[in-house]
Amino acid sequence: MNDAVPGAAVPLPQATTAPGPGLPKTATGISGLDEITFGGLPHGRPTLVCGSAGCGKTLLAMEFLVRGAMQFDEPGVYVTFEESEEELAQNVRSLGFDVEALVQRGKLAFDYVHIDRREIEETGEYDLEGLFVRMGLAIDSIGAKRVVLDTMESLFDGFSDMALLRSELRRLFRWLKDRNVTVVVTGERGDGTLTRQGLEEYVSDCVILLDHRVDEQLSTRRLRVVKYRGTSHGTNEYPFLIGEHGISVLPVTSLGLSHHVSDERVSSGIPRLDAMLGGAGYFRGSSILVSGTAGSGKSTMAAHFADAACRRGDRCLYLAFEESRDQIVRNMRSVGIDLSRHLDSGHLLIEAARPSLHGLEMHLAQIHRLVGELAPQVVVIDPISNLGYASQMMDLSAMLLRLIDFLKSKGITAMFVNLAAGGKPFDATEAGVSSLIDAWLVLREIEAGGERNRTLYVIKSRGMQHSNQIREFLITANGIDLLDVYAGPGGVLTGSLRASQQAREKAAAVSREREQQRRKRELAARCAVLQAQMDALRQEASMLDAEISAEWNESAL
């Protein structure tokens, strides 16, 4: 069992787990493999990895050892029958595995067993004790917990006494079991049998089959757990990648509906759009579909969303399948969205790839790997529409299903951009996944009055009140600007109809103003006239007054 390395700040993870009754398992550390085996390979037992040449057996075996040494502090012995230690080290150097350093530190040991039939003359009875001696020495010298035998086929090619070989192999696996080491044995695929030499006869606790197919110029690698005694396991084929960091297997997340749900809201990056979405934006962890025809502003919306995420400190993974990273940055800068500062700060990662580069399964596996590495809170996929190119086994909706489920299970808020062909704003694919999507925005260009104007509306947004209006928007030098809704007698107005309505209303306001001014002046004039009349009457009154007082004075005298 593993104990913490003395002096380490954090105890290393346990390799061996016993998830309930049944076999204890040894974690491989290989991305995805431990998930589909529910914990790893059978502890203290041999696992057979078979497949045709070039399908990745040696790499899987090597990664099992290297990760065992690096991640779980379990030293390992690589018994190689075909390639030398130098060749093996060379092959995995590009994956970032420094085999020589591990050998130096006593975490890995190699033994190159060279068997050449032409060199050997068989003269009587013998056994393979020499092999046992070598393996015992290697295991004891570093305290190995993991062993690889790559590939046992060479024993069959080298020695002709089949009965002896069989009994020695049985003895070997018993011996290994007694030493309580977890073993990976590689074997070459046979015609109609799992392995050419029938190794599955001896190694039957766990059998993994690797496959490498080329369909329509796209290569796909698949892995299948053919057998795993004593435990449940995924029986499907799982696509896997051999990438920069080793093997990544793509597990199918169970499509249960038991995701953790959040109440928190995240901004779309466009305040007025947030207002349309229940006043606060999308739910964190939800899935959002933005669909529309070409040029309708989808990528700009996606950029706003990514920008808003980075500004509030989230990490965003932007998967671009149409434009390059620099192109996106440049285009968005022209509308006032500065993505380069998020790239520099590390909050944003734009990964661009041609959809035709891989099959669909590979894209999915890549996305899994990137999400695992970056641990983003937000993911944008722009667009998903052209990923359906040359899909064979899996169609786009199935892939979206798995992808949406995967991202939801991680609590990642995901935005998918879909290009709808033709004049229709949404297509069959979207109709298929619409039940999985939490929020659906459609960008549509409306033709009215001889023009096309950009509008958007919210088809649905689960869990919140949302606006049902069709809102016109402009793409300005400061990004997307949602305009006020102009409702004329015939409905919502956009574009120049709106402009003319605006102008009309303005004109009406001006003329009302003018009318008021005129009335004011008219009243003022009338006031003045009355005032004048009043003055005149007053004048007359005072004159009369003066006359009366003058007459009074005269009569008094």
Partner 1 sequence: MSTNKGNHHPAAQESGAAAPNGATEQLWELRLYTAGQTPKSVLAFNNLKRICEEYMPGRYEIEVIDLLRNPRLAKEDQIVAIPTLVRKLPQPLRKIIGDLSDTERTLVGLQLRPRNP
Q: Which residues bind partner 1 (CB under 8 A)?
A: 111, 113-115, 119-134, 136-138, 158-159
State the nearest-atom distance from the C-beta of 130 to partner 1, in Å.
4
State the nearest-atom distance from the C-beta of 138 to partner 1, in Å.
8
State the nearest-atom distance from the C-beta of 134 to partner 1, in Å.
5
Handedness of CA 178, 184, 189, 193 (dihedral sign): positive
Spatial distance between the Cα atoms of 301 and 477, rounded to a whole number of angstroms: 14
Q: Do residues 37 and 25 make contact, with C-beta atoms less than 8 angstroms apart? A: yes
Between 143 and 463, CB nearer to partner 1: 143
State the nearest-atom distance from the C-beta of 112 to partner 1, in Å.
8
What is the identity of the amino acid at 11? Answer: P
3 state SS of 10: coil
State the nearest-atom distance from the C-beta of 80 to partner 1, in Å.
12
Crossing angle (nearest 10°) for helices 57-72 and 85-93: 80
Q: The tokens of 433 are what? A: 């996944």
State the nearest-atom distance from the C-beta of 76 to partner 1, in Å.
17
Spatial distance between the Cα atoms of 493 and 480, rounded to a whole number of angstroms: 18
Between 100 and 122, CB nearer to partner 1: 122
Spatial distance between the Cα atoms of 151 and 79, rounded to a whole number of angstroms: 8
State the nearest-atom distance from the C-beta of 188 to partner 1, in Å.
20
Q: Do residues 47 and 208 make contact, with C-beta atoms less than 8 angstroms apart? A: yes
State the nearest-atom distance from the C-beta of 26 to partner 1, in Å.
26
Residues 6+ apart with CB under 8 A from 85: 78, 110, 112
Q: What are phi and psi of 70, to 5 degrees?
A: -80, -40
What are all long-range contacts of 87-96, with beta carbons under 8 Å and residues at least 24 apart?
A: 88/58, 88/62, 91/58, 91/59, 91/62, 92/59, 92/62, 92/63, 92/66, 94/244, 95/59, 95/63, 95/244, 95/245, 95/246, 96/244, 96/245, 96/246
Q: Do residues 268 and 308 make contact, with C-beta atoms less than 8 angstroms apart? A: yes
Between 113 and 398, CB nearer to partner 1: 113
First to last CA, the chain: 144
Between 140 and 545, CB nearer to partner 1: 140
Q: What is the CA radius of gyration of the chain?
A: 39
State the nearest-atom distance from the C-beta of 160 to partner 1, in Å.
11
What beta strand segments (E) does 155-249 contain? 182-188, 206-215, 218-228, 237-243, 246-249
State the nearest-atom distance from the C-beta of 362 to partner 1, in Å.
40
Q: Which of 412, 462, 417, 467 is nearest to 443 (CA)?
A: 417
Q: Do residues 212 and 221 make contact, with C-beta atoms less than 8 angstroms apart? A: yes
Hey, what's the torsion of the CAs at 248, 181, 74, 223, to 10 degrees? 0
Between 154 and 293, CB nearer to partner 1: 154
Between 12 and 128, CB nearer to partner 1: 128
Show the DSSP H helices in 349-494 as ranges.
Answer: 360-374, 396-409, 428-433
Edge-to-edge strand ranges of the sheet holding 316-320: 348-352, 316-320, 378-382, 413-419, 287-292, 439-448, 451-461, 471-476, 479-482
Residues 6+ apart with CB under 8 A from 528: none
Between 133 and 532, CB nearer to partner 1: 133
State the nearest-atom distance from the C-beta of 119 to partner 1, in Å.
5
State the nearest-atom distance from the C-beta of 122 to partner 1, in Å.
5
